[in-house]
DNA sequence: CCGCGGATCTTCT
DNA sequence: GAAGATCCGCGGA
């Protein structure tokens, strides 16, 4: 991020690589409520993770890793804590958080975020003036808004310009677990996790104001 | 709000 | 050849 280092209030909350090197279903569920961040030209684009899906090589025919390693999915088989970005439908990118240890092909698809900072830039990237709740409510929209494409495939999620910030855990009663959507194979697996009422999680939670202030101040002198 | 077709490239059958 | 971890604009209710 332009050579400047992140303020301590931010850097100490970055989820470490070990967070991702665990059971994919646990990581998927634990990611809800956390804050995904990309620093572009000194500006923080940030959004709360509100919808994810888990994909795993074991018994999951819908996973890109199910039939083994290829040029496209190589990142899925690396050690957890990096990004896996793929291109699909001839025009869209989708991003995943890679999980588990090296050699295991698994990842968590980021399906939706709730924008927190950098909304004007997200609108510019999307080429639309959508309201915040419609700006990043799909996997390809998240990538477009955050300016993420295949050039970010395999990049570390532990900083300095791509990371996920810890945030207070969400209560079980706010998490909905359902089958994944938009797939045909292994469509019965309940590996989709959705955070209900994203607005209820805004700001009031302890420590969030400090995080958002820190992110917004990156540009300021 | 809902359903439908087009866009357009990689991977699999 | 066809389908795919999708999105958008259009037309209709």
Percent of chain A with pLDDT strictly greater than 90 = 84
Give residue-wise pLDDT tens across range A172-204.
888 999 999 999 999 999 999 999 876 666 555
The whole-number Å distance from A165's CA to C12's C1' is: 44
Q: Is the residue at A123 inside a domain? A: yes
Q: Is the residue at A9 inside a domain? A: no
Give residue-wise pLDDT tens across range A32-72.
999 999 999 999 999 999 999 999 999 999 999 999 999 99
The whole-number Å distance from A89's CA to C2's C1' is: 13
Q: Is the residue at A7 inside a domain? A: no
Q: A219 falls in which pLDDT band (50, 70, 90)? A: confident
Q: Is the residue at A78 inside a domain? A: yes
Q: Is the residue at A183 inside a domain? A: yes
Range(s) of the domain holding residue A97: 18-195
The whole-number Å distance from A78's CA to B2's C1' is: 42
Strand B nucleotides within 7 Å of a protein CB: 7-13
Mean pLDDT of A159-181: 91
* Nearest residue by alpha-carbon distance to C1' of B6: A89
Is the distance from CB of A147 to CB of A40 less than 8 angstroms? yes
The whole-number Å distance from A128's CA to C10's C1' is: 18
- Radius of gyration of chain A, Cα coordinates, nearest whole angstrom: 16
Q: A3 falls in which pLDDT band (50, 70, 90)? A: very low
Residues with CB under 7 A from strand B: A 67, 70-72, 87-91
Strand C nucleotides within 7 Å of a protein CB: 3-9
Q: Is the residue at A119 inside a domain? A: yes
Is A51 buried (19+), middle (13-18) or exposed (0-12) by CB count in 10 A?
A: buried
Q: Is the residue at A211 inside a domain? A: no
DSSP assignment, residue A156?
B
Domain tally, chain A? 1
CATH number of residue A176's parent domain:
3.10.300.10
Q: Is the residue at A154 inside a domain? A: yes
Q: Tell me which residue of A83, A84, A52, A48 sits closest to A165, measured CA to CA.
A: A48
**Strand nucleotide closest to residue A65 (CA to C1'):** C5
């Amino acid at each position: 991020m332009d050579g400047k280092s992140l303020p301590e209030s931010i850097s100490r909350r970055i989820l470490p690589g070990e967070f991702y090197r665990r059971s994919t279903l646990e990581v998927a569920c634990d990611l809800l409520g956390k804050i995904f961040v990309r620093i572009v030209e000194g500006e923080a684009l940030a959004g709360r993770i509100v919808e994810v899906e888990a994909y795993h090589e074991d018994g999951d025919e819908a996973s890109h890793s199910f039939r083994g390693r290829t040029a496209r999915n190589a990142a899925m088989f690396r050690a957890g804590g990096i990004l896996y970005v793929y291109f699909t439908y001839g025009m869209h990118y989708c991003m995943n958080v890679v999980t588990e240890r090296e050699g295991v092909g698994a990842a968590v698809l980021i399906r939706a975020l709730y924008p927190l900072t950098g909304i004007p830039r997200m609108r510019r990237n999307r080429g639309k003036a959508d309201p915040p709740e419609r700006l990043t409510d799909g996997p390809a929209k998240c990538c477009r808004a955050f300016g993420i494409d295949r050039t970010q495939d395999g990049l570390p999620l532990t900083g300095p310009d791509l990371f996920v910030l810890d945030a207070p855990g969400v209560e079980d009663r706010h998490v909905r677990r359902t089958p994944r959507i938009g797939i045909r194979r292994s469509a019965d697996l309940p590996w989709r996790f959705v955070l209900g009422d994203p607005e209820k999680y805004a700001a009031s939670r302890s420590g969030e104001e400090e995080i958002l202030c820190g992110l917004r101040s990156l540009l300021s002198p």
